[in-house]
Chains A and B, each alone.
Chain A
Amino acid sequence: MTMNNQGRPSAVGTSENHELPTISGDRGLDHEEPLIFEIGRDGMTGVDLPDVQMSETRLGGMRRRKPIGLPGLSEPEVIRHYVRLSRMNYAIDAGLYPLGSCTMKHNPRLNEKVARLPGFGDLHPLAPQSTVQGALELIGELMMWLTTLTGMPAVAMSPKAGAHGELCGLLSIRAAIAARGEVRKRILVPASAHGTNPATAAFAGFVIDEVKGTADGRVDMVELEGKLGPDVAAIMLTNPNTCGLFERDIRHMADATHKAGAYFYCDGANFNAIAGRVRPGDLGIDAMHINLHKTFSTPHGGGGPGAGPVVLSAALAPFAPLPLLVRDSRGFRLIEDRDELPARAKPFGRMCAFHGQMGMFVRALAYMLSHGRDGVRQASEDAVLSANYILASLKDVMSAPYGNGPCMHEALFDDSFLEGSGVTTLDFAKAMIDEGYHPMTMYFPLVVHGAMLIEPTESESKESLDRFIHVLRELALEAIAKNTVRFDGAPRYAPRRRLDETAAARKPVLRWKRKDLPQAAE
């Protein structure tokens, strides 16, 4: 080995013994991290609070008798623990996140900053309305943006996520039908729908009737019209649909639906393809939820919180849930009870306590003001352009069932190119992890065999797209050549290898338990 004159090696040496197990079990920057319960100690705390002794309490004899069992840690220990955990996660800030139907776009940090302004973040939901006028103005402003972008007259702001918004939309429809003195039980849902659609419809007390798709990935109009009838409450459709395609016959569908006395619910998960270019209101839609955490970039946060405001047509607007926001000479006002309703309002009920996901509202409005109408339209165009670029660049090696025409903001592939290779969609996706990418959405939509749904969003540079395309092409070619070494047992370089999900479900372990204590209570 080459040394300098302090005896220090001056060459990097070789990197054999790469797989040598370490003494610590950690590997360089990859740390194994125990559970917080395994590193805490009794009596320690990371928050200094005065120790108030109480000579008398007013707890009515309901004081806790036994310790809770929470571990004690100092602040540096807690910070190190969660920083180490964070490093085991993939994130949009760290790489392309091509999850179709999930719209993992860039989350601007300005939005985080403004959501924390005390005038938004440090407001109590039941503080006197005269003291929260700025917050009500923000909600009013966001409502204006949402109704203008969708061309719909009204919006219900309280739903806390997309599925919650779907429920809000269906309950509005249910109330509108009841107000007509009718009973309609069936909801038509295309086979390609998101799982939440049939789940929500069933939850709202409807019977689900599935509508088949056509060979070109769209709703079968003949079947749809055949199923429409006096017991159909609504059709529930995603547009652009989950195959990444625009439903060309959408207006015809809306007309047929309305003619049958039913309502048209649109799942707005894919609004990012058309925002600023097409107004759902112009298409004849009666209700559509908007995932603020998709189209308007509020962070996904490892699975929430989201927000799912629902825009409503004139026919459904009167049935929007409480609370309602109105503006009069005294300023903005929340109507929280049926006793003070404006004319025509017949709210079906309440979706949740208080007024909705304010923290998400602030972020979404910051996104909108930053983009403006021109930026929103550019975002949709770039999202669609990027998806088509991926489709065009990969469809000669990966099979694209609807690859003959353009897609919208997501490109759909199936597993026919893997046929006979011994590589499954799952293997292919897991090999992407070793290449530094989060997998695309897999096995959804259900109407395509071994589906792989790629949504690049508008947030990627051309260089980033080219690199992604290169990696996928090479992987596809290796799979086709039956070079399965990269796929067998992938991923190899992630914090964990494939996890045993069957074992997890067979004997569920859902919490840590102190091993040295008898579990008498359990």
Chain B
Amino acid sequence: MRYHPLTPDDRLTMLERIGVTNVDALFRDVPQSAVVPLSAFDLPDGQGELEVERALSRMASKSVAAGAGPFFCGAGAYRHHVPAAVDHLIQRSEFLTSYTPYQPEIAQGTLQYMFEFQTQVALLTGMEVANASLYDGSTATAEAVLMAQRITKRPKAILSGGLHPHYSETVETMAELSGQVVRAKATPGKPDDVIALIDDETACVVVQSPDVFGLIRDLKPIAAAAHARGALLIAVVTEIVSLGLLEAPGLQDADIVAAEGQSIGNGLNFGGPYVGLFATREKFLRQVPGRLTGETVDAAGKRGYVLTLSTREQHIRREKATSNICTNSGLCCLAFTIHLSLLGEEGLTRLARLNHAAACALADKLDKVKGAQVITPTFFNEFTLKLSKPAANVVEALAKKGIIAGVPVSRLMPHDPAVRDLLIVAATETNTDEDADAFAKGLAKVLS
């Protein structure tokens, strides 16, 4: 086995030092009846690198990669160009194969990029502090709701109908343990009325902008209404590139921002691993879940970084921890940081404009197709189309022509017949004019 350095002779010498004759003796505490022979496992034996690569390549070839043709899926995961430098740097051994930086003297690389990441996320969201990442946007949203319940000591979370349904379900699973979750009805293409649901039991209102249908929300009035009743506003962003062009949620008075950072630095990866962004006000710092990196000095007076405020965390506080999180998204947060450093203010602004322009042009083209109508008056890089046929059927028909047209809303809300004809379409800098033309042409055929 190419990954095992011990030779049969080594093993014998080692057994001799231990004072046993065979390796079975080391397993003597395991009940004999629980030990099974190798033949009990109906699995193949080991293979060489060539064979494994061949088998997995064959499996990979059974799917259609997003880059293989015109591609317009969004709804929480977005295809962007990631500069080659990002993947090269995150594969450096010192980043890829290091552990959580519990020994700061020999983990300054990880700690410093986490500090940079926290700063970038705080700037981007317009908040005062950010943590060093959570698993993804959906779990970050759930953690934000739990934090709001802790801060306000109130049970109820109100979820906007425009929140990604997977996020709503994740919040329900987590937050119903400690409180109550109320979902507003989805109103595709129009702002829903979450304000009407706020009462004195409300811990927080959770609003996504741009929402799952693409619509841009004005958060300020919602924040004002929430604050007037002593509740918090949690702003959710699933397309983080949008903040290159849109007003930051922190400047619209959000109390917590939970976001998906996948769009910057990270590929689609069929849904994971992604990187959850979490930012808030300084006054809530001690209620923040997950890891935090802080600046300090070493014994020689040099600036350095350490994991800090760990008295919130499970390895110290055990059952009194603010969250059970141990692992975060270290390497994905590094990819985010490197990509955003490469972009800088100028690059991110251009990228966001490019996305918006691509979506505007595509929306105009598709809106002209007979049987298709754009129903989101405002949007960043994705919008919702109302079609004259069920969206799932249209997507399947276009997939046969090599066009991945978007995400049918029925995939996210199968029990709601009212959304059957709605299709969420995203355009990014990766889409060419030819892609858009092919989409419009194919759609016209399928709808005719």
Contacts and interface: CB of A to CB of B under 8 A. Distances in A.
Contacts of B71: 124
A498 B79 contact: no
Given A64-B246, A282-B34, A86 B44 contact: no
A104 B41 CA distance: 26
Contacts of A42: 345-346
A19 B47 CA distance: 51
A202 B34 CA distance: 32
A430 B342 CA distance: 36
Given A195-B321, A200-B324, A369-B52, A119 B60 contact: yes
Contacts of A245: 29
A240 to B, nearest CB: 9
B437 interface: no
A337 B414 contact: yes
Nearest to B308: A504
A302 B334 contact: yes
Contacts of B256: none
A305 B130 contact: no
B377 A58 contact: yes
Given A36-B341, A121-B269, A305-B330, A63 B245 contact: yes
Contact of A499 (B60, B63, B119, B297): B297
Contacts of B314: 163, 195-196, 198-200
A151 to B, nearest CB: 8
B66 interface: yes
Interface stretch (B102-110, B153-161, B439-447): B102-110
A60 interface: yes
Contact of A511 (B115, B304, B323): B115
Interface string B283-301: 0010000011111111110
Contact of A46 (B105, B118, B342): B342
B173 interface: yes
A152 interface: no
Contacts of B120: 70
Contacts of A373: 38, 41, 43-45
Nearest to B133: A304
B57 A499 contact: no
Given A54-B356, A91-B94, A299 B331 contact: yes
Contact of A321 (B27, B106, B173): B173
A382 interface: yes
Contacts of B404: 124, 127-128, 131
A338 B172 CA distance: 14
Nearest to A102: B99
A371 B1 contact: yes
Contact of A163 (B77, B170, B178, B325): B325
A148 B43 contact: yes
Nearest to A391: B18
A302 B110 contact: yes
Given A36-B116, A124-B270, A277 B27 contact: yes
Nearest to A305: B273
B282 interface: yes
Contacts of A459: 3-5
A57 interface: yes
Contact of B112 (A33, A360, A385): A33
Contact of B166 (A164, A277, A354): A354
A360 B108 CA distance: 25
Interface residues of B, number: 207
B224 interface: no
A499 B169 contact: no
A126 B77 contact: yes
Given A65-B247, A202-B320, A461-B5, A357 B29 contact: no
Contacts of A116: 87
B101 interface: yes
Interface stretch (B9-17, B182-190, B197-205, B225-233): B9-17
A393 interface: yes
Contacts of A69: 123, 345
A94 B173 contact: no
A44 interface: yes
Contacts of B59: 119, 134, 137-138, 141
A300 B205 CA distance: 35
Interface string A55-76: 0011111111111111111010
A269 to B, nearest CB: 10
B66 to A, nearest CB: 5
Interface in A125-180: 125-128, 130-135, 137-138, 141, 145, 148-149, 151, 160-164, 166-167, 171
Nearest to B125: A68
Given A64-B247, A353-B167, A497-B105, A510 B415 contact: no
Nearest to A370: B52
B95 A301 contact: yes
A33 B305 CA distance: 12
A300 B297 contact: no
B106 to A, nearest CB: 4
Interface stretch (A7-15, A105-113, A222-230, A477-485): A105-113
| Most chain B CB neighbours (cut-off 10 Å) among A37, A130, A302 | A302
9 contacts: A126-B412, A128-B395, A137-B62, A202-B320, A301-B330, A302-B101, A372-B43, A433-B105, A495-B105
The 9 nearest A-B residue pairs measured at CB: A119-B60, A354-B271, A301-B331, A134-B62, A125-B271, A349-B173, A372-B46, A305-B273, A60-B378
Given A113-B53, A510-B293, 12 more contacts: A63-B245, A87-B94, A110-B53, A124-B270, A164-B325, A349-B169, A350-B172, A371-B46, A378-B4, A392-B18, A499-B105, A504-B308
